[in-house]
Structure 1
């Protein structure tokens, strides 16, 4: 669909939503992009008669509300005077499970766990189920609660009784997860019972009946998949073992069981890309014929069940999409797409439908998420909420998913975001935004606050999925092993030069930026390519690779011990065997070579990339470069949890970019 058609529909959508958007001479304020969210998501009850949603109250605190869809009657059913509703889920048609958070407190100032609570959909029968603190002295009432390290399970159970399965987490000293125990919890009485486990379980999976059926353990760098076999008296038996960090034959990720007990898995099975296969539990083998695959991508997604059967597959391609297996639901998707053309429309259906209502989540590259309720009987589409109501979608930038050849010929996917109305030949000032991870997929078509904010300030934004990124097949992933600061960095450099050759970027006005691994790549880009990048923005970035492998008296890391011992030596490098290479690609060892303007920001409570990474590099680079701006948010962890800090950070980024590559920048100058 062309940009012109998409924008014309967004203008129509603005009228549909009743938003009073006026033409803006100035770009939207920073707070409109990075302030508190106006909506915390919604979930249909299993029968589809009600929707639960997290919404802010007059005080700004998030509350839990329930809407009866047939009458549009809404009621707040739970709230805290000194905190916010966190995650929530339906226990059954009449009861909800939820936890708490405090969005006004940074990670370093958190003094309580989320806890667990339950309440009826009419606000009655509230009950606390888990403690929020590990108090040495306790009360008789508190002693009946589950311990503070009890959390909701991401997967829903049967949702046909007052019972749910929850997880009791055993944490390592640094904060990583050692193992999880599964508990069956009655949300009305608070009574619980443990589920026998086959070892140090990292992940549990329920079957179509909502009962524990599969577990994944991690021992000595190996994952073992276990099946709870009803033919063996519900005893656990192993069905396969494989390397936890490097893909190998026999490895797979369990997805779901259908009502007949058939197991669906995501596996490569001799192919470069992962796809959905079935697994023969009796023979212990993967069916070689894929049941579902995604063109150009590894499969990433989930199966959708409703009415006791498998009805669809939600997956990530260029953007999120759904393949419906049920003809009626396929027709429903076509109807909704016709009403909301040019947008990604994700339909959520009830588990046991007893009403005509479904939820629709809509977005595009220019449109932040909007939530609708659709009545299948009347064809009426009703707005439930908007995630970013202050932003005018018609003024946002457009995105393109393209690719470019790296110097060795490998095709590198890249997401290009241009300012509203700009062309790909405008030679714009550009920000190369490098994703973190790095073993994640960074390129997905859809609205992004970071990219759209930068585009609203007049910058082209280039986001490469360099080798080592996931989602693009085994060859693309493994080509990044032990390539920090080497071929992975070359891919970013090659993408920048490609953008210059295409006429997208002004070669004299390019800045590189990123967080975590992206912050690392920012520093290495400035060091290795002093004539390519005019400036850099690094937040929470790795600066000393060796520091990642262990803590000290002064800092601790939450990286899992098994990953440090078995994964990192093969993915990043061995501390002893690859010592010279790791030193050569550690920014702190090359700090004297960095002379461009640099903005650095770190969280004082970060346990993923501890503050020491930032201070060591700041002190080292400061000896030869006086154009370094340092920001520290003492209460923050690995990223900015607090809205005030997000707004402050991006305000500083805006000013920094303007001075160096924006309208406030002087002409080309030599590095110091």
Structure 2
């Protein structure tokens, strides 16, 4: 640990007043002559996180000055006194959380190197809010991976902080210790140990497991109460009964395929009630309670959404359930507490154009709440709100150089696929383009990865906003197979890679043409991971629709997911490839004909459009051989191929220099192929 304390007043002005300057710039910004610089979208932020102490008297902030190392700063809100609690000369502060009102725990990262050049593991450290009693709890050197204590009460490097806070009334936290197969611990995950760790003494105690644990849930008092185990394809949920301190099974499901009565434990309320997500045989998941005595899910949901599966979290104090935060098209909160409902209304009235998420201290002894505020045009910013005075104090913005007035509007839309299925999507268009903006726009059809995830929500996103700032409309479909939109929508995507999932994308592009948004002669398909696969299959299946394609870290052959390659090892587990992937993607034996027909690698000769390909050399999710084999096959028939490998990167770009380089290539590539009307074209 190194560094020195800057003058408190100077640092206070950095942290508290940078957002004031942002607000002034937003209010008085004139129409830009040139689009915002690319780095404004993809650089690392100076300010990146903030959270209140349990009593609400202190604010912990992760911040760097002049693009130096991220530090952990603590501000005493009553007098605005500022302390640097932790900083490192060779690393950045990573995740952090309050242990109690006096103490914090944090891990580290190194934002100057990519995954392939990492020298350290995250480690774990604890420190008082004034910088005193700094202690290392977990080693940060990968040479200490053996299962032994490497020095007095310092755990080996393969221990990681649990992002569950519990009661925050002791010096203890929990850490997890994943155990993997293989000589070097890089094989399949066998189980995950949970340890209670004292942040003052460094002493730890391992929690007894009921089986091969994969996940843990603490109750509201910070005690382990739920354990999820996995044996082959069976996921079992266990409850640690406080009456006898014994684990008992409360449910078992197919981990990959689910079932009618599946549920996901979410959180414990202060009264001990367990809240779960479950569809209870219906199409959409809702928020329910689970009776631990009768082992029954409540008949009536607490929160149910018409068009979305429930996804969210409980908002509690030490002794009360205040409300529930959930995600529909955007994030919102339903408050059960009348005082919090009134407070939310006051904050929303003062900040009418943004989503305003209120963080409440666990046992408030001060009048402050923390507000995370954002919109489609406004990157996330943090403000302190004084409930007594009704006044705001800006804290910081994650992208302080972005001017919201220069950003584009995003809207949630739905269109019909050719078989009648409704496909949700996110549409972002340059300013003014939806209302008499003149010529139809070049369109980037941006495909999310996964694919069994939800792709987006209503909020500012660097990739779509960057593309819109360069004059492109951006359509991001939640094609069948995407999660969050009900069981039927998810199941409709099973075994549909390159088939109906692909049709949903093409139907989205044709919808944008019919709506007068997209120029049919200027459409490019793009995406990462599964989105990269869909990009390549789009160029195969719908050659007349897409003028070009951009694939980064994308799957190029489904069979390669199963067979791999001698040059690298995938991080997909053998159980998933045995029990999950055959049903979700396709069985390599039973569906062999289909998998060959939907292989971009085997169909490479049919792709004649310009293609940009980018991969990370140390990617274990989609190893580099996917890209190498494909580019070799593609170049035999296609002279317009751009290929780049980022040697230190994995499954995505962690370094600003690589994000900026990649999106600079994207900008030039799109400009060449769909950005400027070609002479003689009819628009």
Per the normalisation by structure 1, the TM-score is 0.95
Distance 1:665 1:435 in 2: 30
Listed as ranges, the matches of 1:562-577 within 5 Å are 562-577=575-590
Is the 8 Å Cα contact of residues 90 and 159 (structure 1) preserved in structure 2?
Answer: yes
Distance 2:139 2:76 in 1: 31
Task: Please give the secondary structure, in 2, of the residue aligned with 1:184.
Answer: strand
Name the residue aligned to 2:156: 147
Distance 1:405 1:364 in 2: 27
Distance 2:21 2:376 in 1: 15
Is the 8 Å Cα contact of residues 424 and 502 (structure 1) preserved in structure 2?
Answer: no
- Match among 170, 175, 180 for residue 192 of structure 2: 180
**1:665 CA displacement:** 5.1
Distance 2:565 2:599 in 1: 19
Matched, 1:52 2:64: no
Name the residue aligned to 2:528: 515
- Describe the shift of the 1:204–1:665 C-alpha distance in structure 2 as closer, same or farther (beyond 3 A): farther
Distance 2:592 2:152 in 1: 51
Distance 2:461 2:163 in 1: 25
Matched, 1:61 2:69: yes
Task: Please give the secondary structure, in 1, of the residue aligned with 2:376.
Answer: coil
Name the residue aligned to 1:286: 297
Structure 1: runs of 5 or more not aligned: 1-10
Listed as ranges, the matches of 1:141-540 within 5 Å are 142=151, 144-173=153-182, 174=186, 177-231=189-243, 233-423=244-434, 426-540=439-553
Is the 8 Å Cα contact of residues 413 and 443 (structure 1) preserved in structure 2?
Answer: no
Deviations 1:75-117 (A, max 9, x none): 1110110010010000000000000100111011113210010
Per the normalisation by structure 2, the TM-score is 0.94
**1:134 CA displacement:** 4.2
Distance 2:418 2:67 in 1: 55
Name the residue aligned to 1:116: 124
Task: Please give the secondary structure, in 1, of the residue aligned with 2:650.
Answer: coil
Task: Please give the secondary structure, in 2, of the residue aligned with 1:524.
Answer: helix
Name the residue aligned to 2:8: none
**1:561 CA displacement:** 2.5
Name the residue aligned to 1:37: 45
Deviations 1:469-494 (A, max 9, x none): 00100000000000000000000000
Distance 1:386 1:260 in 2: 36
Name the residue aligned to 1:128: 136
**1:663 CA displacement:** 2.1
Is the 8 Å Cα contact of residues 658 and 665 (structure 1) preserved in structure 2?
Answer: no
**1:314 CA displacement:** 0.9
Distance 1:372 1:245 in 2: 41
Larger CA deviation: 273-282 vs 51-60: 51-60
RMSD across aligned positions (CA) = 1.9
Deviations 1:338-380 (A, max 9, x none): 0000210011010111111000011111111111000001111
Distance 1:137 1:600 in 2: 36
- Describe the shift of the 1:64–1:286 C-alpha distance in structure 2 as closer, same or farther (beyond 3 A): same
Distance 1:605 1:20 in 2: 45
Distance 1:526 1:563 in 2: 29
**1:19 CA displacement:** 8.0
Distance 1:509 1:16 in 2: 38
**1:249 CA displacement:** 2.5
Distance 1:93 1:47 in 2: 6
**1:246 CA displacement:** 1.5
**1:247 CA displacement:** 2.4
Is the 8 Å Cα contact of residues 660 and 666 (structure 1) preserved in structure 2?
Answer: no
Is the 8 Å Cα contact of residues 307 and 353 (structure 1) preserved in structure 2?
Answer: no
- Describe the shift of the 1:58–1:427 C-alpha distance in structure 2 as closer, same or farther (beyond 3 A): closer
Listed as ranges, the matches of 1:605-620 within 5 Å are 605-620=618-633
Is the 8 Å Cα contact of residues 217 and 226 (structure 2) preserved in structure 1?
Answer: yes
- Describe the shift of the 1:617–1:424 C-alpha distance in structure 2 as closer, same or farther (beyond 3 A): farther
Listed as ranges, the matches of 1:629-640 within 5 Å are 629-640=642-653
Larger CA deviation: 258-267 vs 348-357: 258-267
**1:280 CA displacement:** 1.3
Task: Please give the secondary structure, in 2, of the residue aligned with 1:587.
Answer: coil
Is the 8 Å Cα contact of residues 240 and 250 (structure 1) preserved in structure 2?
Answer: no
